[in-house]
Amino acid sequence: MPLLAVSAVLAAGGAATRPFSWSATALVVVSAAVVSALAWRARPEQTPRTARLRRGAAVWSTLLVAATVWEVYAFARQPDWTRPSDEHPTLSTLLDPALEQWPLRFAGWLVWLSVGWWLVSR
């Protein structure tokens, strides 16, 4: 239950921030760092290493690296890091029209937090 409460508070705080502001960025970075640290400390049971697992890890790692490179490149090429750029859109810029209203931003933050937790707790 505390995890749900923390997620709701983070989502409400994130939805209350102005898109592309430093406070929104700080909330994302701090949330990702805390969840990553918790996942790093956890000792999951060892999964047997198979050829299928290695191939899957290689494919997903390649996709993750490609998406990260695209995001970093698009973000770095923006003329102003506090405003979205149509010439170099990041994923946040592309999703922003769909998440303009507060309830949708809150739901978007909840989805982002849920997916992130699912990824690091697997």
Residue 32 corresponds to which tokens in the numbers above?
Answer: 């990702």
pLDDT in tens, 3-30: 788 888 888 988 898 877 888 889 889 8
pLDDT the model gives residue 62: 96
What dihedral do alpha carbons 102, 104, 108, 109 form, nearest 10°? 20
For residue 112, give the nearest of 7, 24, 6 by alpha carbon: 7
In this prediction, residues 28-34 reach a mean pLDDT of: 87
Please state, in angstroms and rounded to a whole number, the distance separating the CA atoms of residues 49 and 32.
27
- Summarised one tens digit per residue, pLDDT across range 51-99 is 998 999 899 999 999 999 988 888 888 888 777 778 878 887 888 888 8
Contact 57, 40 (CB under 8 A): no
Crossing angle, helix 22-41 and helix 2-16, to 10 degrees? 160
pLDDT for position 69: 94
Angle between helices 2-16 and 102-121 (to 10 degrees): 130
Mean pLDDT of 93-115: 87
> What does the longest C-alpha to C-alpha distance in the chain come to?
47
For the segment 92-117, the average pLDDT, to the nearest whole number, is: 86
Q: What is the pLDDT at residue 59?
A: 95
